[in-house]
Amino acid sequence: MPADDGNEPDSRPVVHVLVSEAFFRSRIVDTLNALVLGPCLADMDLDEDDFVEAVAGVPAQGLVADLEEESRDVLSALGRLRQDPRTADWIWLCYCSHEREELVAEAARLGLEAVPRSTFASSLVRLLQGFTAREEG
């Protein structure tokens, strides 16, 4: 769950972070906090059933996922999450290397768009601001 101040639950809109690479995870978390969004770090060590339930079970604006995640088959989990009615209105932000055409094609088959890793890195704030648009609109 998102962090709290020790007294009251965090009321910021939640964004799940399905990224274990420390470089990107820390930048995503810092940017979400700056945008007054509540990052919720996924436990990448859970088995897939528990992982999907843990993510879908926490209402959120959406999620950010590294499609090249080494700790698990993220596309399999995302496919299951896309079919879950609890996640129907979520915003989905995925990224991977532009050279991973098979990941981009599989993501598209699931109805997900994957931005190139370089675009994600250079446009991080703008891309993550998409999670605030729903709150403002």
Please state the three-class secondary structure of 19-44 as a single string.
CCCHHHHHHHHHHHHHCCCEEEECCC
**Is the pLDDT at 84 greater than 70, yes or no?**
yes
User: At 10, is the pLDDT very low, low, confident or very high (cuts 50, 70, 90)?
Assistant: confident
Residue 19: predicted pLDDT: 96
Average pLDDT, the chain: 90
Residue ranges of domains in the chain, CATH in brackets: 14-136 (3.40.50.2300)
- 75: Cβ contacts below 8 Å, ≥ 6 apart: 67, 103, 106, 107, 110
Q: Is the pTM of this model over 0.85?
A: yes
User: Which pLDDT score, from 0 to 100, does residue 6 have?
Assistant: 39
Distance, CA of 100 to CA of 104 (rounded, Å): 7
